[in-house]
Amino acid sequence: MADLAQLLEPLAGLRDRRRAPLVLELDLTEAIIDEPAAPPVAQLLGRRRQRFADVIEGVRRGAHDPQVAALVAKVDGRSLGFAKVQEVRDAVRAFRAAGKPTVAWGESIGEFGPSTVGYYLATAFEEIVLGPTGTLGLTGISMRAYFLREAAERLGIETEAGARHEYKTAVNMLTERDFTEAHREAAEHLVSSLSEQVREGIAEARGLTAERVAELTARGPLLAGEALEAGLVDRLAYRDEVYAELLGRFGEPRLRYVPRYNRHKAAERVPAPGRQDQIALITAHGAIHSGPSRRSPVSGSASAGSDTVGAAFRAARRDPSVRAVVFRVDSPGGSHSASDVIRREVRLTCEAGTPVIVSMGDVAASGGYYVALGARSVVAQPGTITGSIGVFISKPVTAGLLEKLGVGTGSVDSDPHAAMFEPARRFTESEWDRVNALLDAVYADFTGKVAEARGLDAEQVDRLARGRVWSGADAHRSGLVDELGGLETAVRLAREASGAEGAPLRPFPRPNPVERLRPAESSEERTAAQGRLDAWGPLAELSARLGLPAEGVLTLPGDWRVR
């Protein structure tokens, strides 16, 4: 007869294993999405992608979990957006403040390429380890613009454009041959602000002066040995050496990815059936437009539809468990009317007694700033790209191209302005009068709502507007943003405003599987707050890269990715 102790031995081993220390892992070389809940098919296609909220909450949760012993992260030349990098840095520093080891490692941090932002992220960790044959792409911050006017003219294409005002440079790609004075001024100011944040962050983390960091950046990229000698990394080692040394400190610990750890811990805290107070997380990600939000299964790009986002806010107002809303905005803007619809829903939610706190991501500019105007408070990272309070319109004129191709055109119009937006001809004088009237009206509406929401007078708003882009740090100094921080800061403000101390942050709404599969009965149902798959995502993104107003007139000028 088998000994009972022998039979129970595997179970005892499993129990001991479950009690073993945890070392959390982060893979910061893979995509991290900051988007709303997806339709079922999109969830299957993107199930391996990490969610930003899981990363941030998981790291912060691990800081206070006695079972969690350390954090190790893989980094490389790729990075998150600038503001997300700052948010991850804040979470990692909170983990370090709990007295737990943190290690960042990479075979190469920018191999034959730039990685200043990637290295900036790594400096939040107590120890940085670089592969013996790696390089450190510490080369500085760069923003590049392309100007296609001459190329377009060679094809016989002109661009007619109007903007309010000189800093609204979305169509400069097609109307200019180089930076305008205002365009260069805005870009230089933004690069200077972000560069200062990077230099100071690296200097503080590595015990260097900002001047020394600037000297090393001017020499970059650096070989592994040079980075070690300069004190930018702590040692050179391979992955097996990094893990053996770290794990060896804790006996036989278990490894677990941060997002999986966070979801596991959140599941442990699921309450008994019934009402539980919550902070609802509603997201506007990508270009803003009328209709439902969309996501491309091909490119993974997403957009924010006023129907979907508006339905989410209406559902939050009716749900007694929702004590406050954190509205996560990561958008370059888009449609004026759609942005205003979302702003209205935000304001109605606040007026109904449910405070809304906006948390800005990497970009919350133009329409992405407009939607925040109905909120109780606005939170941004120092590196968030925001502002761009302005409007533009553009139309390619293809008459020259058609003539070169031997294509004739003609139209039969019922009224003088019936064909004004056709690309085959230029605007007439009376049509330009209407275009300018539209631009003036939208600009006056935008700036007027900024003045009302932010408590500024017309002169102050005009100084901050005119289409100019600001860093979050500058926006905070000028009164466009209330507080600097990330999701954690926004959640804290939401709890304080609603008196719901300890209420968890949850994506909202979260329809059950049956609700996801059946059509919504009306626009008032919470299932109406679901987006749709959109196979045209890559083409829409290409249009945006060309500076064309594919989604609307309140769009951030150009490509503001930080490299």
Closest of 351, 269, 256, 279 to residue 62, by C-alpha: 256
Can you give the pLDDT at residue 536? 47
pLDDT at 511 over 70: no
Residue 260: C-alpha distances to residues 256, 334, 525, 528 (Å): 7, 34, 31, 29
What is the domain range of residue 394? Answer: 276-407+424-555
Q: Assess if residue 102 is contained within a domain.
A: yes
Q: What is the pLDDT of residues 133-171, one digit of tens each?
A: 999 999 999 888 888 888 888 888 888 888 888 888 878
Residues 309, 230 share a domain: no
Q: Assess if residue 337 is contained within a domain.
A: yes
Can you give the pLDDT at residue 512? 57
Residues 308, 227 share a domain: no
Residues 445, 380 share a domain: yes
Residues 245, 299 share a domain: no
Longest CA–CA span in the chain (Å) reads 101
**562 or 92: whose pLDDT is higher?**
92
Can you give the pLDDT at residue 523? 64
Residues 280, 258 share a domain: no
Highest mean pLDDT among 71-80, 176-185, 312-321, 506-515: 312-321
Domain boundary pick from 197, 229, 262: 262
Contact 361, 34 (CB under 8 A): yes
Domain boundary pick from 233, 262, 291: 262
Q: Assess if residue 563 is contained within a domain.
A: no
With the CA atoms of 540, 541, 543 and 546 taken in that order, what torsion angle do they form, in degrees rounded to the nearest 10?
Answer: 180
Q: How crowded is residue 158: how many other Cβ atoms within 10 Å of its Cβ?
A: 20
Contact 332, 365 (CB under 8 A): yes
Q: Assess if residue 360 is contained within a domain.
A: yes
B/e letters for 61-71, b = 16+ CB within 10 Å, e = fewer, are bbbebeebbbb
Q: Assess if residue 208 is contained within a domain.
A: no
Q: How many domains does the chain have?
A: 2
Residues 339, 235 share a domain: no
Can you give the pLDDT at residue 547? 45
What CATH number is associated with residue 71? 3.90.226.10
Contact 442, 391 (CB under 8 A): yes
Residues 234, 383 share a domain: no
The pair of structure tokens assigned to 238 is 């391979």
Q: What is the pLDDT of residues 74-85, one digit of tens each?
A: 998 776 889 999
35-49, 86-100, 518-532, range with the lowest pLDDT? 35-49
Q: Assess if residue 197 is contained within a domain.
A: no
Q: Put residue 378 in one of left, alpha, beta given phi > 0 → left and psi -120 to 50 → alpha.
A: beta
pLDDT at 544 over 50: no
- Mean pLDDT (the chain, rounded): 86
Can you give the pLDDT at residue 41? 47
pLDDT at 194 over 80: yes
Write out the H or E segment, with its range, that includes residue 334: strand 333-334
Cis peptide before 513 (omega within 30 of 0): no
Q: What is the pLDDT of residues 56-76, one digit of tens each?
A: 999 999 999 999 999 999 998
Residues 350, 284 share a domain: yes
